[in-house]
Amino acid sequence: MRPRLWLTGLGLVTPLGVGVEATWARLVHGERAIRQITLFDTAGQRVRTAAEVEGVEVPRGGWSRTSIMAATAAEEALRTARLDVRRMRVGLVVGGTTGGMFETEQLLARLHADPQCREVLVEMLAHPLTSTGDRLEERLGPFARIRTLSSACSSGANALVVATAWLLAGEVDAVVAGGTDGLCRLTVSGFNALGAIDPEPCRPFDRRRRGTSLGEGAGFLVLERADAARSRGATPVAELAGWAVGSEAHHITNPAPDGVLVASLIHRAIKCAGLSPRDIDYVNAHGTGTPVNDPMEAAALARGLSAEVARVPVSSSKGQIGHTLGAAGAIEAAITALVVSRRTLVPTAGLDEPDPAMGLVHVPHVGREVPRVRAAISNAFGFGGMDTVLVFADPDLRREAPALAPVQPVVTATAVFGPCGLLGTEACASLLERREPGAPVEPEGHLDPGRARRLDRAAQLGAVVVERVLDDVGGRELATGLVLGSAFGNVDGSAAYMHRIFERGPRSASPAEFPNLVPSSPVGHISIYAGLRGPALATADLGISGESAFAQAVQFVTAGEATRMVAGAVEPRSDIVERVLSALFSSQVSSIATRCDLAAAVVVESETEARRRGARIMVRVRQTLEVRGDTPSLVGLVEPLGGRAEVVLAHSGCAVGPLLDASAWASCERRVCGPAVGESDALGAVAIAVAAARIGAGQTDEALVLGLAKKRCHATVLVRG
Amino acid sequence: MSSPQLRAELKKLIVTELNLKHRDPESIEDDAPLFGGGLGLDSLDALQLAMSIEERFGVRIPEGDEARQIFRSVRTIADHVARVQVLPKVGQQG
């Protein structure tokens, strides 16, 4: 039987209050926190209201609003779980969309006035998405493993799904997982440009609804296996009983009106919990209050819950705390767990005139106690149709969760696209022997111009490699997931978008550009372009983002979350990243290598599925080891099996040498990708593709891919299939 | 009534703003439907187009049903732009 997963600690920072109790008290009473924005000047914005968190004090030393809210919530979650990170292997998963954009906007404003200002440039990349995990590691760590992810507005929910995969694999003892997002000019102007903000505080499921209201905050949850939690004397708030993740492959901002994917996720998540719709006593809806979301979600609930939809109360917390974006999935998951635990339904504020077209049972205005909440659903939907459904259950509820079948992840196709050209599975094996001069990188020529018209440079590069591996591996009808890594996300796009606003005001914000600024945007666009319906998300881990994407894909395949995933990294050449690097390092090195457009992808799938299809198995994934720390060590890394073994490295950085020399792989030949491919943060994904292809071509039997960046290290061991 | 130049300018704007690289602006017919069938544009395109028309011509496209009428074809957009542009400033603000 699958181990049960207990939720043993919660932490919330919301516009209703700092802390779980402060939030809960006001939530149940239907209080609303949506009012005039005070964080920044909103002159020229169509709608100037949002739900702000009050009393956030941002410490000095590289903190952002987003990170300090996360630290506050994660600290509360760890404290209420009575978890000691020094005595257990505790993982951390952080979901989000903006990182420190609020702080970065102030730098962009100065850079707008003086494009070469060195003082600003050296600070420009201080608040990437990964910075929250790094700050939490310093303040609350050490953590055994850290993942930073984005799937737009389902990020917080997907952080919990990642946690389930880690726990079920037994790779960590507990996970603190959640989401965090601070309000910023970029999101306020962007949602305004989309016409998606209600001039009144938002009114989910109301017939007068005109959009959502934005909010900010953080939510973190501690999850652990019930057996381990029980043996340390912990008590559960609720169980995370079921979950399901998928992609609509429909449209970058609009959900598919029929809600078919969401309905299937509801169905799968309930089944994953070992329950039926009859056991569901409450739904915390995504319920944004936009004209298109609410009817889609109502249709999905009707389909997913069948006749039970006429019984199950549904509410949305967004009329009170606003849409907290990357935090929403986690904050609302915590709220749903509390509803189960406290047998008290929370309301939909602002719901004066329920839209009869919804056909739902509502909880208008104020919450109410109920005799029992056996199980409850939390929905989270993101841009690009990246949707997640979670089921929380009363720990005393009798249920039989389906057993986990052991899965061996294998790699069946690889592709690299950059100055080396577009190389498929076969050609990747000889990539490091190539010495042609760099060719111009022209993704447009590989894509259908009509379908690709919304793809920015990153999405184009990614779509080319994803299409290539799918062509190589066949079986396009399979539900396939996608994880792509990026070190800093769309820095140039965000800068250009903000510069327009500084120049001409918020009304000139481009509705078409805005969705491309979310870190998961390339993943969303590519899932739509290639018709991928499995779990889709972006990872960020500085220079080893490609390695983190690969590890995540392996973990999802191992956990049975997807039978097949495409994993890789996409890094378009970035003018700002280059300027920042030269400002940072100009005093130390004579010249900074020009970085190139680069993308790489591999197909990771279950060996059983690959064999069923008769696909060629290039390599088995023997280990993905993720290490954190000031001086990461390779303790726990497997030894070579004894055949021909080599080490494939992205760069020939000086820190890699001593690390390898102290390992069992010390005497293996070392191959470096950078010189043959060009400089890029996507080189780690290239290294994995090259290693898999070389083994697949019989050039070696086994390979270690080692990626190293500031205070983090990823080791991937691949062996002949 | 709009001028042929204004309609030609709008077609170029549609192609560049909505990234319709595969379309020749001149191949877009004045009265062809832009949304749904026709050019296959959707609500996100309508928002982008409304923003760029406001930027380029200083003409706001109203929201809701009115916008739907205006966005029927290149001709209906051009007629709206021409009509609003001749109005005195005061009228625009009202």
Give CA–CA dist A46/A706, Å, rounded: 49
The answer to whether residue B92 scores a pLDDT higher than 70 is: no
Distance to chain B for A364, nearest Cα, Å: 28
Give the model's confidence band at A580: pLDDT under 50 very low, under 70 low, under 90 confident, else very high.
confident
DSSP for A225-236? Answer: EHHHHHHTT---
Enclosing domain of residue B32 = 4-93
How far, CA to CA in Å, does A582 sit from each of A105, A277, A590, A596, A715? 21, 58, 9, 15, 29
Q: Answer yes or no: do A254 and B44 touch at CB < 8 A.
A: yes
- The pLDDT value recorded for residue A578 is 87
The CATH number given to whatever domain includes residue B14 is 1.10.1200.10
With an 8 Å Cβ cutoff, is B67 touching chain A? no
- The pLDDT value recorded for residue B40 is 83
- The pLDDT value recorded for residue A91 is 98
Active site residue A202: no
Mean pLDDT of the region B79-86:
90
Pick from A248, A245, A229: which is nearest to A237 by CA? A229
Burial class (CB in 10 A: 0-12, 13-18, 19+), A714: buried
Question: Which of B48, B55, B71 to probe by mutation at the A interface, max A CB count within 10 Å?
Answer: B48
Q: Answer yes or no: do A254 and B47 touch at CB < 8 A.
A: no
CB pairs under 8 A between A and B: 44
Burial class (CB in 10 A: 0-12, 13-18, 19+), A108: buried
- The pLDDT value recorded for residue A301 is 98
- The pLDDT value recorded for residue A437 is 65
**Residues of chain B contacting A253 with CB distance shorter than 8 Å:** 44
Give CA–CA dist A450/A464, Å, rounded: 15
CATH number of A5-393: 3.40.47.10
- Report residue A281: phi and psi, to 5°: -110, -5
With an 8 Å Cβ cutoff, is A508 touching chain B? yes
- The pLDDT value recorded for residue A81 is 98
Q: What SS3 class is residue B19?
A: coil
Note the pLDDT tens digit of each residue in A534-556.
Answer: 999 999 999 999 999 999 999 99
Mean pLDDT of the region A50-68:
95
Note the pLDDT tens digit of each residue in A63-88.
Answer: 999 999 999 999 999 999 999 999 99
The residues with which A480 forms a beta bridge, in sequence order, are A564
Least reliable range by pLDDT among A385-399, A462-476, A648-662: A648-662
Q: How far apart are the first and last CA of chain B?
A: 22
With an 8 Å Cβ cutoff, is B66 touching chain A? no
Angle made by CA atoms A360, A364, A368, in degrees to the nearest 5: 105
Across chain A, what does the average pLDDT equal? 95
- The pLDDT value recorded for residue B51 is 94
Active site residue A286: yes
- The pLDDT value recorded for residue B22 is 85
The answer to whether residue A588 scores a pLDDT higher than 70 is: no
Q: Which CATH architecture has domain A409-489+540-720?
A: 3-Layer(aba) Sandwich (3.40)
Q: What SS3 class is residue A178?
A: strand
Pick from A146, A162, A246, A150: which is nearest to A556 by CA? A162
**Residues of chain B contacting A251 with CB distance shorter than 8 Å:** 42, 44
The answer to whether residue A304 scores a pLDDT higher than 70 is: yes
More confident residue, A438 or B78: B78
With an 8 Å Cβ cutoff, is B30 touching chain A? no
The answer to whether residue A117 scores a pLDDT higher than 90 is: no
Q: What percent of chain A has pLDDT over 70?
A: 98
pTM: 0.97
Note the pLDDT tens digit of each residue in A495-532.
Answer: 999 999 999 999 999 999 999 999 999 999 999 999 99
The number of distinct structural domains making up chain B is: 1
**Residues of chain B contacting A511 with CB distance shorter than 8 Å:** 44, 47-48, 51
Question: Which of A447, A448, A454 to probe by mutation at the B interface, max B CB count within 10 Å?
Answer: A454
Catalytic residue among A250, A267, A286, A362: A286
Q: What percent of chain A has pLDDT over 90?
A: 89
Over its C-alpha atoms, chain A yields an Rg (Å, rounded) of 24
Give the model's confidence band at B88: pLDDT under 50 very low, under 70 low, under 90 confident, else very high.
low
How far, CA to CA in Å, does A550 sit from each of A158, A410, A547, A643, A647? 16, 12, 5, 24, 17
Q: Answer yes or no: do B44 and A253 touch at CB < 8 A.
A: yes
**How big, in percent rounded to 5, are the helix, strand and coil portions of chain B?**
60, 0, 40
Active site residue A267: no
Q: What SS3 class is residue A382?
A: strand
Note the pLDDT tens digit of each residue in A127-169.
Answer: 999 999 999 999 999 999 999 999 999 999 999 999 999 999 9
- The pLDDT value recorded for residue A436 is 67
Instruction: Delimit the domains of chain A by residue range.
Output: 5-393, 409-489+540-720
Catalytic residue among A323, A362, A651, A714: A323
Q: Which residues contact A533 (CB under 8 A, 6 or more apart)?
A: A246, A247, A248, A249, A261, A479, A480, A527
Rounded-to-10 torsion of CA A264, A269, A275, A281: -90
